[in-house]
Chains A and B, each alone.
Chain A
Amino acid sequence: MAFQILLNFSLAFLWMFLSANYSANGFLIGFILGAIALVIMRRFFKSRLYIGRVWAIIALTFLFLKELILANIAVLKVVLKPKLDMQPAFFKYETALTEEWELTLLSSLITLTPGTVVVHISDDNKYLYVHAIDAADIDETIASIRDSFEKAILEVSRT
C-alpha cells in the first residue's frame, strides 16, 4: 500500500524529469500515467492496488453520509413521539476489527450516527459497549452496524 503510493509518486517525478515540465500540471499527468502503469502491473504486487482502497474510502464516506441522514430522521421520530415508549439499552458489540485506527473509526462512526454512542472499549479490544437510545430490537441494531460500517471498514483494510 505505502510502497505503491511511493512508487506512483516516484513515477510522477520520473515523468516530470523526462518531459522537463516541472509544474503541478506535469506532476498530475505523471501521476495519472503512473496509476495506469500500476494497474497494468497489478499482478506483481503482494497486496491489492491502493486505488481500490481509495475507492473504498470514498464509498465509506458516502455510506456514512447516508446513515447519518437516516439515523437523524429515526431520532427525530423518537423525539417527536407523543408517547415516550423508547427503550434505552446498553449492549455489547463483538467486533472483528483489530487495528487501532479501525476501532477508532468504527467507534466514531457509531457515535456520530445519532441514537447510538460508544461508551467503552474492552481491555482486549474485542468488544465495544454501545448505548442505544431506542433498542427495541438489539440484534437488529448489531446486525445493521455489522453489515454497514464494519463491512465497509474491512473493505478498506483488507490486503
Chain B
Amino acid sequence: MRTNNLILQFTSKFVFFIIFFFAVHIFFAGHYTPGGGFVGGLLMSSALVLLVIAYDLKTVQMILPVNYMYMTAIGLILALGTAAFPMFVGKPFFTHFYDYFHLPLIGKTSLHTAALFDLGVFLVVVGVTMTIIQTIGEDE
C-alpha cells in the first residue's frame, strides 16, 4: 500500500528540468565564474536522485538505462586522455590548448581543452554518486 505521492511526483518532474539546466550552466560557467565539472556533476546527480526519491530506483533505471560504472570509466578515460595528449606532440603532461573560434549562432568563443577535462570530471562525479546511491538503495 503506497501512499499517494502526487504532489511530490509532479513537482519533481517539473523541477528536474530546472536543476538540469542549472547543472549545465554551472558546468560551462566554470572557466570565468564559480562552477565547474565537480559542482555541475553533483547538481546533475542531485536531479537524478530527486527522481529516485519521487518514484523508485527501478523506474528511474528503466527511464535512463545507463550503466553508471561505464560512465565513471568513460569520464576517467576522457580526463586522462586530455591530460596525456600533449605528450604525443612534445609538450609536457597536462599542457592545455586553447584558441578562438567563430561558431555559428554563438559567435566568437574561446574553446579550451580544460573543458574536456572538466567533462571527464563531470561524468566521474555523476557516475560515482549514482553508483553509491544505487548500491545502497538496492540493498534489501
Contacts and interface: CB of A to CB of B under 8 A. Distances in A.
A101 B10 contact: yes
Interface size class of A (residues with CB under 8 A): 10 to 19
Interface in A51-109: 100-101, 103-104, 107-108
Contacts of A123: 3-4
Contacts of A122: 4
B10 A100 contact: yes
Nearest to A106: B7
A78 B51 CA distance: 39
Contacts of A101: 10
Q: Is chain B's interface secondary structure helix, strand, loop, or mixed overall?
A: helix
Interface in B37-86: none
Nearest to B1: A123
B10 A121 contact: no
Nearest to B9: A100
A123 B2 CA distance: 9
B11 interface: yes
Interface size class of B (residues with CB under 8 A): under 10
B6 interface: yes
Interface in B11-48: 11
Contacts of A100: 6, 9-10
B4 A107 contact: no
A101 B6 CA distance: 9
A122 B9 CA distance: 15
A141 interface: no
Looking at B4, B7, B9, B11, which has the most chain A CB atoms within 10 Å of its CB?
A: B7
Given A100-B6, A122-B4, 20 more contacts: A100-B9, A100-B10, A101-B10, A103-B6, A103-B7, A103-B10, A104-B6, A104-B7, A104-B10, A104-B11, A107-B7, A118-B7, A120-B4, A121-B4, A121-B6, A121-B7, A123-B3, A123-B4, A125-B4, A125-B6
14 contacts: A100-B6, A101-B10, A103-B6, A103-B7, A104-B7, A104-B10, A104-B11, A107-B7, A120-B3, A120-B4, A121-B7, A122-B4, A123-B4, A125-B6
Q: Which 8 A-B pairs have the closest CB atoms?
A: A104-B10, A100-B10, A123-B4, A121-B4, A104-B7, A121-B6, A107-B7, A103-B6
